[in-house]
């Protein structure tokens, strides 16, 4: 039982947890000495985001260092679904797996038989934590992920199985609208799954586990969770009522959507077009910032930036302007195939040839939302001449000729889902209207 000075803690996925000062006291099991040795080993390899074992108390409970912060409960708050949290989950899990390999490989000493709460799973590649989930995560006051707790279920097994459990909880790979992450959205789940796998592959041992690998491992993992919940509920664990049915429902949902979830993600494309000094770059940067406030990751790819990669003479003077457009189109297409949520392509895309250099490179199924900043030449010329960083576009003759070209080509049918005059509409007003049209919503899932 708890001592008078014990503070009973909530959160986690375990019972009878209390705190004394800077230490946590938890019920121990036959596996606890093994878990303690594992934690000490992981700390020696630099994985300090896990609690450190401090032995046992007078009641035989294990004692661990307390990780300060908040452990969320379901439905979890918005900050849990931030892209940075997902990336940290993938990176930390890869680091744990890498650090655990020599723990399994080292010779056992006297009295060091390894005892695990869960059975080892083949192929044994690493020590899996087996329960990486929001309810075992610690967050600071700014919503940053600072630690993981409750590693009692750790056991040897395959990397993909452990990453699959983390994906189920943190993507989340679920057909249920009850996690706090918003309604299930297959396109977004596909991007988040790819992002988690990418984060894992760039950390630890740099082992690539594909979304297809995760999905193949998750379905039997869910069935195993259902079997375990059913057995424990039958044995008297009343709090697990309905859990088995839930996991089987999740497994069925996954089976019906696994093929689509395994497809490479395609980010949403927003194209910002308009004449010189109409505010394209400013609008694009503001759109990327708005995407971030909606929990979306975004990249801005500007034709002018690509053209500037050409050394003297410049792309325009050397006849490489169209080549810059083709290079830009290829770069946009490559970014669209990453786990990004949004790619903002910045023009000009006035002529059919310029537009084709972008559109012809896009991945199949990409739907572009075209935003046209149709701003009068007197406004754009005044802006250009006031900007000391500009070059030839400050010269009135060149500026007017370029604007006349834009006006002529726009009249021939430049695509536009939304049109704004930035001489009367502010950047904030333009961005707010675009965000509404795209259906983005404040919060981690947009």
CA distances from 44 to 55, 183, 341, 441 (A): 17, 41, 37, 43
In a domain, 444, yes or no: no
Beta bridge partners of 19: 7, 24
Domain edge (last residue) among 222, 243, 265? 265
Helix and strand numbers (H, E) in the chain are 13, 14
CA 190/CA 263 separation, integer angstroms: 7
In a domain, 422, yes or no: yes
CA 321/CA 400 separation, integer angstroms: 19
379 sits in which H/E element: helix 377-386
In this structure, the answer to whether residues 278 and 260 fall within a common structural domain is no
Q: What is the pLDDT, as a whole number, of residue 315?
A: 55
Find the mean pLDDT for residues 379-392.
92
pLDDT in tens, 5-50: 666 665 545 557 888 888 999 999 999 999 999 999 999 999 999 9
In this structure, the answer to whether residues 17 and 120 fall within a common structural domain is yes
Closest-CA residue to 145 (of 154, 153, 136): 136
In this structure, the answer to whether residues 292 and 243 fall within a common structural domain is no
Find the mean pLDDT for residues 417-435.
96
Q: Is the pLDDT of residue 104 over 50?
A: yes
In a domain, 446, yes or no: no
Q: Is the pLDDT of residue 446 over 70?
A: no
In this structure, the answer to whether residues 374 and 413 fall within a common structural domain is yes
When divided into structural domains, the chain yields a total of 2
Q: 340 lies in which domain range?
A: 268-438
Dihedral angle sign, alpha carbons of residues 58, 60, 61, 64: positive
CA 200/CA 91 separation, integer angstroms: 5
In this structure, the answer to whether residues 82 and 126 fall within a common structural domain is yes
CA 209/CA 164 separation, integer angstroms: 10
In this structure, the answer to whether residues 233 and 284 fall within a common structural domain is no
CA 376 to chain centre: 40
In this structure, the answer to whether residues 232 and 249 fall within a common structural domain is yes
pLDDT in tens, 216-256: 999 999 999 999 899 989 999 898 999 999 999 999 999 99
CA 171/CA 196 separation, integer angstroms: 8
In this structure, the answer to whether residues 295 and 167 fall within a common structural domain is no
Domain edge (last residue) among 265, 291, 308? 265
* pLDDT level of residue 1 (50, 70, 90 thresholds): very low
In this structure, the answer to whether residues 60 and 123 fall within a common structural domain is yes
In a domain, 317, yes or no: yes
CA 66 to chain centre: 27
In a domain, 445, yes or no: no
In a domain, 117, yes or no: yes
Q: Is the pLDDT of residue 149 over 80?
A: yes
Q: Give percent of the chain with pLDDT exceeding 90.
A: 75
Q: What is the pLDDT, as a whole number, of residue 441?
A: 78
Q: Is the pLDDT of residue 387 over 70?
A: yes
CA 228/CA 248 separation, integer angstroms: 12
CATH number reported for the structural domain that contains residue 251 in this entry: 1.10.510.10
What is the token pair recorded at 66? 């307390």
Q: What is the pLDDT, as a whole number, of residue 21?
A: 82
In a domain, 370, yes or no: yes
Lowest-confidence region among 2-6, 154-158, 387-391, 415-419 = 2-6
CATH number reported for the structural domain that contains residue 286 in this entry: 3.40.50.300
Find the mean pLDDT for residues 151-174.
96
In this structure, the answer to whether residues 7 and 137 fall within a common structural domain is yes
In a domain, 257, yes or no: yes
Find the mean pLDDT for residues 183-209.
93
What is the token pair recorded at 115? 């005892």
In this structure, the answer to whether residues 246 and 292 fall within a common structural domain is no
Lowest-confidence region among 63-72, 104-113, 169-178, 249-258 = 104-113
In this structure, the answer to whether residues 198 and 227 fall within a common structural domain is yes
Domain edge (last residue) among 233, 248, 265? 265
* pLDDT level of residue 2 (50, 70, 90 thresholds): very low
pLDDT in tens, 318-348: 568 889 999 999 999 999 999 999 999 999 9
- Alpha helices by DSSP H, 106-143: none
Lowest-confidence region among 139-143, 184-188, 198-202, 435-439 = 184-188
**Angle, helix 427-438 to helix 280-293, in steps of 10 degrees:** 50
pTM of this structure: 0.81
> What average pLDDT does the structure give for the chain?
90
Q: What is the pLDDT, as a whole number, of residue 316?
A: 54
Q: What is the pLDDT, as a whole number, of residue 365?
A: 83
pLDDT in tens, 273-327: 999 999 999 999 999 999 998 888 999 999 999 988 876 555 555 568 889 999 9
pLDDT in tens, 5-15: 666 665 545 55
């Amino acid at each position: 039982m708890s001592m008078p000075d014990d503070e009973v803690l909530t959160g986690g996925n375990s019972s009878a947890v209390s705190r004394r000062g800077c230490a946590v006291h938890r019920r121990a099991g036959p596996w606890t000495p093994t878990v303690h040795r594992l934690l000490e080993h992981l700390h020696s390899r630099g994985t300090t985001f896990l609690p450190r074992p401090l032995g046992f108390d007078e009641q035989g409970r294990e004692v661990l260092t307390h990780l300060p912060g908040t452990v969320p409960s379901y439905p979890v708050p918005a900050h849990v679904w931030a892209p940075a949290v997902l990336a940290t989950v993938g990176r930390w899990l890869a680091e744990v797996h890498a650090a655990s390999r020599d723990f399994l490989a080292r010779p056992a000493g006297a009295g060091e038989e390894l005892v695990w709460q869960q059975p080892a799973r083949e192929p044994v590649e690493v020590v899996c934590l087996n329960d990486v989930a929001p309810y075992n995560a610690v967050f600071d006051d700014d919503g940053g992920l600072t630690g993981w707790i409750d590693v009692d279920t750790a056991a040897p097994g395959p990397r993909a199985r452990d990453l699959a459990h983390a994906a189920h909880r943190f993507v989340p790979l679920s057909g249920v609208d009850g996690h706090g992450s918003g309604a299930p959205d297959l396109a977004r789940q596909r991007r988040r799954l790819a992002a988690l796998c990418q984060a894992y592959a760039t950390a630890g041992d740099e082992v690539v586990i594909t979304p297809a690998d995760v999905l193949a491992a998750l379905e039997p993992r869910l069935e195993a969770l259902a079997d375990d919940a059913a057995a424990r509920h039958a044995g008297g664990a009343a709090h697990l009522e309905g859990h088995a049915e839930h996991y089987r429902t999740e497994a069925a949902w996954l089976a019906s959507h696994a093929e689509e979830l395994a497809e490479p993600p395609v980010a949403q494309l927003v194209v910002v077009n308009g004449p010189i000094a109409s505010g394209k770059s400013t609008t694009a940067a503001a759109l990327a910032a708005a995407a971030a406030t909606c929990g979306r990751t975004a990249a801005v790819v500007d034709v002018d930036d690509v053209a500037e990669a050409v050394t003297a003479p410049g792309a325009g003077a050397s006849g490489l302007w169209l080549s810059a457009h083709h290079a830009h189109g290829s770069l946009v297409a490559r970014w669209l195939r990453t786990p990004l949520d949004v790619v903002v392509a910045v023009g000009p895309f006035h002529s059919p040839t310029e537009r084709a250099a972008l559109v012809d490179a896009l991945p199949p199924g990409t739907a572009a939302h075209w935003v046209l900043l149709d701003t009068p030449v007197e406004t754009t010329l005044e802006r250009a001449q006031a900007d000391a960083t500009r070059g030839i576009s400050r010269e009135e003759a060149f500026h007017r000729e370029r604007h006349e070209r834009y006006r002529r080509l726009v009249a021939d049918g430049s695509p536009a889902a939304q049109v704004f005059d930035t001489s009367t509409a502010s950047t904030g007003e333009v961005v707010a209207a675009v965000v509404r049209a795209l259906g983005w919503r404040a919060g981690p899932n947009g």
